[in-house]
Amino acid sequence: MRAACRLSPRWRLCAPLAALGALCALALLAGACGGDGGKPTVSVAAASSLRHVLPPIAEDFERANPSVEVELRFAGSQVLASQIEEGADDDVFISANLLQAARLLDGGFAVRPTLVTGNVLVLAVAEDAPWRTVSDLALADVRIAAATPSAPVGALTAVALGLLPPETAEALRRKIATEDPSVRIVLSRLELDEVDAAFVYASDVVATDGLRAIALPPETPANAYVAVLVEDGDTAAEELLGWLLSVRAQAIFQLYGFLPSTVGVQAR
């Protein structure tokens, strides 16, 4: 699941959202996890856009905490939230937006929301593609991959399109050939040359060789990645949640193209 990466360019960030800051207070109490007799195991259900960055963070945590083991699984945030509601045995859930985390908090399935990182939406194309701007793609004969509106990246795509000039937005909408439940599937369509461009995150471009990002309107908000503790856990899950905010973990997030947790991001 790990990929080679290169340093990302600077992305223009949006202003902090006061309500999110209040919701994501730094209190890290009550935890998760448990193993059967051996090492305690922390099971983490995480948004698919974290599939490259979480493994090195988890390995770093395990080295610092050799008595604890971390298990990772990845899917669309909305899919994972449904699975937790249905009884999935997870200790920590990391959503690619506030909406799915709030869903579990409101339902009594989770506690302690914590803003751990952020991500910026881009239009990804092949590195040697002739298009340089959103307008270029709007005028070209291309196929574009996007996510379903229920997925965080799909919801953010709808916001970004709404910030474009109406004729440009409509031209791009007509070129959307597929809508998938996770950013991983959206990105794979571009990697397999099924489409010419894809609405994905900046971190996906950083982690994938041969791609280049076309910037969207600077007013497009960044997605907030919110981690919660699933109820009935213990200390190891709480410690992992705290580790996600550590200097070491935050440096890894930024190396893979994510935003630091201290940067204000729009709740989406």
pLDDT in tens, 118-177: 999 999 999 999 999 999 999 999 999 999 999 999 999 999 999 999 999 999 999 999
Averaged pLDDT for residues 81-96: 96
Which residues, 6+ apart, have CB-to-CB distance to 97 below 8 Å?
Answer: 77, 152, 155, 156, 223, 224, 225, 226, 267, 268
Amino acid identity of 224? A
The CA distance from 107 to 124, in Å, is 36
CB-based contact 233:33 (threshold 8 Å) = yes
Helix, strand, or coil here: 85? helix
Whole-Å CA distances, 257 to 19, 117, 213: 25, 10, 12
Eight-class DSSP state of 267 = -
Burial degree of 122 (CB within 10 A; 0-12, 13-18, 19+): buried
**Arithmetic mean of pLDDT, 60-79:** 96
- Look up residue 233 and give its two tokens: 């856990």
Residue type, 37: G
Contacts of 209 (CB under 8 A, 6+ apart): 3, 4
pLDDT at 253 over 50: yes
Give 165's contacts (C-beta < 8 A, 6+ positions apart). none
Per-residue pLDDT at 28 exceeds 60: no
CA angle 203, 152, 12 (to 5 degrees): 45
Question: Domain spanning 121-214 has what CATH number?
Answer: 3.40.190.10
Residue extents of the structural domains in the chain: 18-118+223-255, 121-214
Closest by CA position to 198, among listed 172, 221, 224, 217: 172
What percentage of the chain reaches a pLDDT higher than 70?
83
Residues 201-246 have pLDDT tens digits of 999 999 999 999 999 999 999 999 999 999 866 789 999 999 999 9
Q: Work out the pLDDT band at 16, boundaries 50, 70, 90.
A: very low
pLDDT of the residue at 207? 94
| Common-topology check for domains 18-118+223-255 and 121-214 | yes
Distance CA 59, CA 162 (A): 40
How confident is the prediction for the chain on average, in pLDDT? 86
What order of strands is seen across the sheet that includes strand 211-214? 176-180, 144-147, 197-201, 121-126, 211-214
- CATH H-level, domain 18-118+223-255: superfamily: Periplasmic binding protein-like II (3.40.190.10)
Residue 37 is predicted with a pLDDT of 54
Share of the chain above pLDDT 90, in %: 80
Please state the pTM of the whole predicted model.
0.79
Pairing of strands 41-47, 92-95: parallel
